Amino acid sequence: MKRLKPELPRAIYEFPDGQLRLVNWKEIPPMELGNWAGLHGEMETELIVCREVTGSKMTVVGRSVFFPGAYHDPHFHLHAEEVLWCLSGKGVTGGGDKEYLLTPGDIQFAPVGEIHWLRNPFNEPLEFIWIYSGVAMPQESGYATPDLFETAMAVMKRGEIPK
């Protein structure tokens, strides 16, 4: 993966295989999301930790920004747990038959096989870090999309803002 050369308050480090790695998300070019199933609207994502960037064998860490109106359909992962940590902005996250307001500092945990989703109905960008445990690349997570999730889709489509 080609690294960017941003202005950082430190050197950009190169590490030989088998050593600790220090990576700043600003060094990583955004992913080409293309037609990734279940993602809608304007968004930006960097894969910070994964097999291709750091040689990870069991963890994926990414940074994403969902611009106003962007959303991720209900989905689940067959092979990975997912953690989402809100850094800035607000969003609405859901699981089961409920939705919750996501604000800076909030952390959402989705166990393997649990349906969850995220949307940004607000007028400001939503920035967050996401982590998959148990896999080294996102496509290994066993990502499954919403065709079978009528309940979750109905809750999300109500579009209400939780309190």
Asked if residue 110 is part of any domain, the answer here is yes
Asked if residue 70 is part of any domain, the answer here is yes
Neighbours of 60 (CB within 10 A): 26
* CATH number of the domain residue 143 falls in: 2.60.120.10
Domain that holds residue 150: 30-158
Tokens of 50: 């994964």
Dihedral, 47, 114, 100, 102 alpha carbons, nearest 10:
-20
Asked if residue 24 is part of any domain, the answer here is no
Domain count of the fold of the chain: 1
Asked if residue 154 is part of any domain, the answer here is yes
pLDDT per residue as tens, the chain (163 positions): 567 777 877 777 776 666 777 888 888 888 887 667 789 999 999 999 999 888 899 999 999 999 999 999 989 888 899 999 999 999 999 988 899 999 999 999 999 888 899 999 999 999 999 999 999 999 898 888 766 556 655 665 677 767 6
Asked if residue 75 is part of any domain, the answer here is yes
Asked if residue 113 is part of any domain, the answer here is yes
Say what the pTM is: 0.83
User: CA angle 140-40-61, nearest 5°?
Assistant: 35
Q: Where are the beta strands (DSSP E) in the chain?
A: 39-40, 43-49, 59-66, 71-77, 81-88, 91-95, 98-102, 107-110, 116-119, 126-133, 143-144
Can you tell me whether residue 140 is helix, strand or coil?
helix
Asked if residue 17 is part of any domain, the answer here is no
Tokens of 117: 């989703």
Asked if residue 18 is part of any domain, the answer here is no
